[in-house]
Amino acid sequence: MDASTESTIRDLRAAGAAIKRSIEFVTASNNREIDIAIASLAQKRIEALLVPPGAPLLFNRRVQLVTLAAHYHLPAIYGWREFVEIGGLMSYGSVLVDQHRQAGIYAGRILKGEKPADVPVLQPTKLELVINSQTARTLGIEVPPGLLAIADKLIE
């Protein structure tokens, strides 16, 4: 496990403790492990699922993840809007297109002779909240008006 993942887990555990909720972490490296992990979480009657950004496997298996969340009636939040566009409940994260554009800019700078070590590391500057109101209704969730008001995109 890398330092970033360890830091995220620590932060999530602290956030859970602050609201008196336990956080369960699962990992998966293939389709079968994803099926097993989500089924085990559903069996434990978890209240919600967080699928973080950053793992290409999870992004590439987004249809599987959204389908499993629907099957087990799990409210889920994802790190990318692409999950919500295919039926996920909500996402909050950086815009994938912007990340790819920035990677292209970095590549161009390096190809023009700039040393990779001299190119600054940038954090995303725009995060977006996307909510699928149809999925919320299916799950029996009433999304608070304040949350709807700040959503960057609402999918009906």
Neighbouring residues of 34: CB distance < 8 A, sequence distance ≥ 6: 28, 61, 64, 65, 68
Which of the residues in the chain have pLDDT under 50? none
Q: What is the pLDDT of residue 2?
A: 66
Q: What is the pLDDT of residue 22?
A: 85
CA dist 132 and 155 (Å) reads 5
- Token pair recorded at residue 57: 């496997």
Give the residue among 51, 122, 124 at the shortest CA–CA distance from 94: 124
- 3-96+127-155 has which fold? Rossmann fold (3.40.50)
Degrees to nearest 5, angle at CA 79 with 77 and 84:
60
Cβ 51 vs Cβ 65: under 8 Å: yes
In sequence order, what are the beta bridge partners of 129?
Answer: 92
Helix, coil or strand: residue 78: strand
Which pLDDT does position 43 carry in this prediction?
A: 94
Residue 127: what are its φ and ψ, rounded to 5°? -110, 145
User: Strand 153-155 relative to strand 90-94: parallel, antiparallel, unpaired?
Assistant: unpaired
pLDDT (0 to 100) of residue 72: 96
Query: What pLDDT is recorded for position 49?
Result: 93
pLDDT of residue 1: 61
Q: Write the CB contacts of 151 (distance below 8 Å, at least 6 apart in sequence).
A: 129, 130, 131
CA-CA-CA-CA dihedral for 129, 58, 62, 17, to nearest 10? -50
